[in-house]
Amino acid sequence: MRRYLGLVRVQVKAALLLALQYRLDFCLEVVMALLWSGTALVPLYVLFSIRDGVQGWTAEEMLVVVGFFTLLKGVLATVIQPSLAQAVEHIRKGTLDFLLLKPADAQFLLSTSKLELAHLADVLAGIGIIVWALTHLPGRLTAFGFLLALALLGCALMILYAIWILVVSLAFRVVKIDNMNYLIVSLFEAARWPASIFRGALAILFTFVIPLALLTTYPALALLGKAAFTHLVTAVIVAFGLLATSRLAWTRALRSYAGASS
């Protein structure tokens, strides 16, 4: 365990050095990350200058969902996306072999192979949005709600990670998969609204095909005092189920792995 923590420290330090070296780029990336989070708020701003609520959600309540969305997007962009891109490169060039020769779990190494620290700004921004929204919703937050939200957030992170591993396992078979990264992010955009907003065919697509509702709506419901223990149970089941499936897919894929021909 200690060794893995040490490995993480090394990766973080490497990312930090890189950020310092390309300092102008780093500042720009932070600014851009915040700008993008800002654009997510524009349609809501326009909307709530005309209306008071949508489908039973008020502006402040929707902001809590957007806050979680921004936070998770930040995690995606900091840890998952860069590593995914790196993994795909390795598989495509056949240099995954070097990784597999190292005396550490390959899945772990691949997961932490690259970090984009600039997007931590998104994580902070997301937290900021949630805090701001909650200050305008006095009395809604309870200790239970807070703990529930944390647990649901943890499940959301596990689900994202599991999806990531599944995609990488897929990459072993379908080599040119770089834009899968882009696809995941695009689909994840659906998590920016409370799940109940989507009706009809879209609702089915976004709720059952990909469990996006769980990711942002559930933690928001928890903070707003509208979630129950059953939400947590569902989330945990889905999270662990996906994690197990992804680990299985990973080991399968690794076994059938053959390096690219020269």
Partner 1 sequence: MTHAALPPPAAGSRLRDISLYRALRAFPGLLRVGFAGAVAYRAEFLVWVLAYTMPLIMLGLWTAVAADGPVGRFGEREFSGYFAATLLVRLSSGAWVIWDLNWEVRQGTLQRRLLWPIHALLTYLAENLAALPMRLAIALPIALLTTLWLGPAIWASDPIQLAIVPLSLFGAFLLTFLPMAIIGTLSLWWESSVALYDLWLALYTVFSGYVVPLELFPPGLGRIVAWLPFRQMLAFPVENMIGLVSRERALHDLGIQWAYVALFALLAHLMWRAGIKRFAAFGG
Partner 2 sequence: MLKERAVIEVDRLVKHYHVHERPPGVAAAVRSLFSRPTRVVKAVDEISFKIEPGERVGFLGPNGAGKTTTLKMLSGLLFPTAGSARVAGHVPFERKPEFLRSIMLVAGQKQQLLWDLPPAETFELNRAIYDLDRKAFRATLDELVAVLQLDGLLEKPVRQLSLGERMKCELAAALLHRPRVMFLDEPTIGLDVTMQAAVRDFIRRHNERHAATIILTSHYMDDVAALCPRVIAIDRGRLVWDGSLSDLVRETRPEKQISLKLATPVEPAELELAGARVLSHAGLEIKLQVSQAELPAAVSALLSRLRVVDLTVEEAPLEEVLSDLFARQAT
Under rule CB under 8 A, which residues in 96-125 are in contact with partner 2?
none
Closest approach, Cβ 44 to partner 2, in A, equals: 38
Where does the chain have alpha helices with state H? 2-21, 23-50, 59-75, 81-93, 96-100, 106-111, 120-135, 143-171, 178-188, 200-204, 212-223, 229-255
Alpha carbon 64 to its chain centroid, in Å, reads 16
Give which of partner 2, partner 1, none residue 258 binds (C-beta under 5 to 8 Å, depending on kind). Answer: none
- What residues contact residue 225 under an 8 Å CB cut-off, 6+ apart? 140, 141, 142, 145
CA 166 – CA 87 distance, rounded (Å):
12
Q: What does 21 bind: partner 1, partner 2, none (CB cut-off 5 to 8 Å by kind)?
A: partner 2
Question: Judged by CB under 8 A, which of 172, 193, 218, 250 binds partner 1?
Answer: 193
CB of 23 to partner 2, least distance (A): 6
Element housing 54 (H / E)? strand 53-54
Question: Quick one: 29 or 61, whose CB is closer to partner 2?
Answer: 29
**Near partner 2 in 1-40, by CB under 8 A:** 13, 16-17, 20-21, 23
Point out which residues pair with 53 in neighbouring strands.
58
Q: Is 18 in the site for partner 1 (CB under 8 A)?
A: no
Assess 164 for contact with partner 1 (CB under 8 A): no
Told to check if 258 binds partner 2 by CB under 8 A, we report no
Applying CB under 8 A, among 144, 186, 237, 260 the residue interacting with partner 1 is 186
For the beta carbon of residue 166, count every other beta carbon within 10 angstroms: 18
Amino acid at 200: G
Query: Which entry of partner 1, partner 2, none binds 122, CB below 5 to 8 A by partner kind?
Result: none
Torsion sign across C-alpha atoms 227, 230, 234, 239: positive
Task: Extract the tokens encoding 143.
Answer: 């200790």
Q: Which is nearer to partner 1, 104 or 170 (CB)?
A: 170
Q: How far is CA 178 from the centre of its chain?
A: 18
Please identify which residue in 12, 28, 104, 147 interacts with partner 1, judged by CB under 8 A: 28
| DSSP summary character for residue 55 | T
When CB distances are held under 5 to 8 angstroms depending on the partner's kind, the choice from partner 2, partner 1, none that residue 5 binds is: none
Binding site for partner 1 (CB under 8 A): 22, 25, 28-29, 32, 35-36, 38-39, 42-43, 46-47, 49-51, 54-55, 174, 176, 178-180, 182-183, 185-187, 189-190, 192-193, 197-199, 202
Q: Contact positions toward partner 2, by CB under 8 A?
A: 13, 16-17, 20-21, 23
